[in-house]
Amino acid sequence: MSVDAPEAEAAPQAPEERPAGMGAVGWLRWGWRQLTSMRTALVLLFLMGLGTVPGSFLPQRPLAPEKVTKFFDDHKIIAPVLDRMSMFDVFSAPWFAAIYILLFISLGGCVLPRSRQHLQHIRSRPPQAPRNLDRLPQTASYETDAAPGDVLAEARKVLKDRRFRVDEHGDSVAAEKGYLRETGNLVFHLALLILLFAVGSGAAFGYKGNVLVTEGEGFSNTLTSYDAFKGGREFSSSGLPPFTVWLDSFTAQYLPDGPNRGQPISFSAKIRYQDGLKAAVRPYDLQVNHPLKVGGARVYLLGHGYSPQFTVRDGHGQVAYQGAVPFLSTDDATYTSEGVIKVPDAQPDQLGFIGLFWPTAVPNAQGKVVSAFPAAWNPQVALFAFKGDLGLSSGAPQSVYKLETGKLKPIVMGNKTKPLAVGQTETLPGGAGSVTFNGYKQWISLQVNHDPGRVPALTAGLIAILGIVTSFLVRRRRLWVRATAPEGGRTVVEVGGLTLGGATPEFDAIVERLAGAAPKPTTPDEE
């Protein structure tokens, strides 16, 4: 009687290992691959273009600080919200800088490895012929009495004449060309990368300043001369070149009639400049889009306006103020302007005026004075007078275009609604003095811009255009010629082509030349 052996106990199985997570290094690699993908670069490029939109319709502090001030006065609720989002200085905003830097890193991480791979492909040999050439998009075959070696030799000659890179692999010849397509694509992206770097370096080392100059006056290229100044992060005020600009006269021409009446035709500022302390003073006709190049910077004509001239006498009959005061335009179509006059030297009380200037004053249907034309055909000004403490002695900064009326008392004039024409005088009641409207001058707004990255950016832009055009015009082409001769039979020639980007008649021309160069078979009658 046999005894069954006890069943062997099952060996304990090792616990199944759970898949490990990506880990910190894995997440960093994943994030880097996402950031350096072309999809991310396109998204960042779209976001940067979208971020420039507010800068096109909202006034920007570096360009027009007075328009930003006016926007705050007109939109007291939404303006502070937009200011906290840096909408009045878009191109220096932290969020715009973040998009800019991420785009730069994304393009660099995407293009540089592709450039290295492209160089390796250029230096490598053309690939061997596929096993089945008849499966390629472009195929042809024929028979010839020539030996396979002669066919391949002729194929090498034909392909080299057409500037193919040729290599022989056994019974076949491989050829390819069209590397300029990928080269142009990479040149475009590399040029875009250089363009971003040039713009960034120009913003870091350059500067931009705005200054308002009245006829007969001028300014020097110093920080204290500018109404608004913004330098890059690496900018040093010691690098400002010492040049000076004077405004002799300004001329503006407008359409006098027609449906576009009042539309500007031309702006021209007659200026003089001195490039350095010992340089000669030279004249220049400054116009829109024709900047003055001086001291490595460019001086642009941005806008213009009117500076009414006044003579203010105080209560003792002494001349307390005499000169031209820039008024800022409230209506660009007719140049109706507002401004203030501050007379701190008046006695016994300081005087202040808020003025409204009309270049061509006419009454409207309601009897209200308006300006009918931007040129000064009938200049008039209305003044609202105040007396008291202007607050200038406190040391707190004040805008020259705004009158602080907190400590001032309005002076009620006898006929406060009647504007003053040129040469007329208004006597202030209570022996406070008088004010005379002497005429007007014109002022221009200038922007001085020094951008060391401008020329490299322009060069990179032209190279980018050349690269993208090349990538569109050139197509990558590969072609193989195989010649085999079965034992006792004629040579069979197979030709296959692969054109990236569409069909081309070049393949048919090559096959026709190869077949035409081969000796034709003879007929029995000819034998």
d(CA 336, CA 157): 80
**pLDDT in the model for residue 17:** 55
d(CA 259, CA 24): 69
Nearest to 175 by CA among 497, 517, 522, 501: 497
Read off the DSSP letter of residue 305. E
How many Cβ atoms are within 10 Å of 427's Cβ, its own excluded?
A: 13
Nearest to 191 by CA among 410, 450, 433, 457: 457
Residue type (1 letter), 192: L
d(CA 390, CA 412): 18
Give me the count of residues in the chain: 527
Residue type (1 letter), 524: P
Mind listing the pLDDT tens digit of every residue in the chain (527 residues)?
Answer: 444 444 445 555 555 555 555 678 888 888 888 888 888 888 988 998 898 888 888 888 877 777 888 888 888 889 899 989 988 888 888 898 899 889 888 888 888 888 888 888 888 888 888 888 888 888 899 988 888 889 999 999 999 998 898 998 888 999 998 888 888 888 998 998 898 888 888 888 888 888 999 999 999 999 889 988 888 888 888 878 899 999 999 999 999 888 888 888 989 999 999 998 888 999 999 998 899 999 889 999 988 999 999 999 998 899 999 999 999 988 778 899 999 999 999 988 899 999 999 999 998 888 889 999 999 999 999 999 999 988 887 767 777 888 888 888 988 765 555 799 999 999 988 888 999 999 999 999 999 999 888 889 999 999 999 999 988 888 888 899 999 988 767 889 999 988 865 556 888 888 888 887 654 444 444 43
d(CA 394, CA 344): 13
Looking at the DSSP assignment, which residues form a beta bridge with residue 299? 292, 448
Which positions ≥6 away from 520 have C-beta within 8 Å? none
**pLDDT in the model for residue 526:** 42
Q: What is 173-223 written as a DSSP string?
A: EEEEE-HHHHHHHHHHHHHHHHHHHHHHHHHHH-EEEEEEEETT-EEESSG
**pLDDT in the model for residue 18:** 52
Exposed, middle or buried, 224 (CB in 10 Å: 0-12/13-18/19+)? exposed
Q: Indicate yes or no: pTM above 0.75.
A: no
**pLDDT in the model for residue 284:** 94
d(CA 456, CA 129): 45
Q: 248 with 271: CB under 8 angstroms?
A: yes
Q: Is 520 helix (H, G, I), strand (E, B) or coil?
A: coil
| Sign of the CA dihedral with 25 first, then 27, 31, and 33 last | positive
| Sign of the CA dihedral with 216 first, then 220, 222, and 228 last | positive
In this structure, what token pair is assigned to residue 490?
Answer: 């004629």
Q: Which helix (H) or strand (E) holds 496?
A: strand 491-500
**pLDDT in the model for residue 52:** 86
Residue type (1 letter), 477: R
Please measure the distance between the N-terminal and C-terminal CA atoms of the chain and give it in whole angstroms.
97
Residue with the two structure tokens 């100044």: 229
d(CA 188, CA 111): 10
Exposed, middle or buried, 94 (CB in 10 Å: 0-12/13-18/19+)? exposed
Q: Is 358 helix (H, G, I), strand (E, B) or coil?
A: strand
Residue with the two structure tokens 């039979």: 489
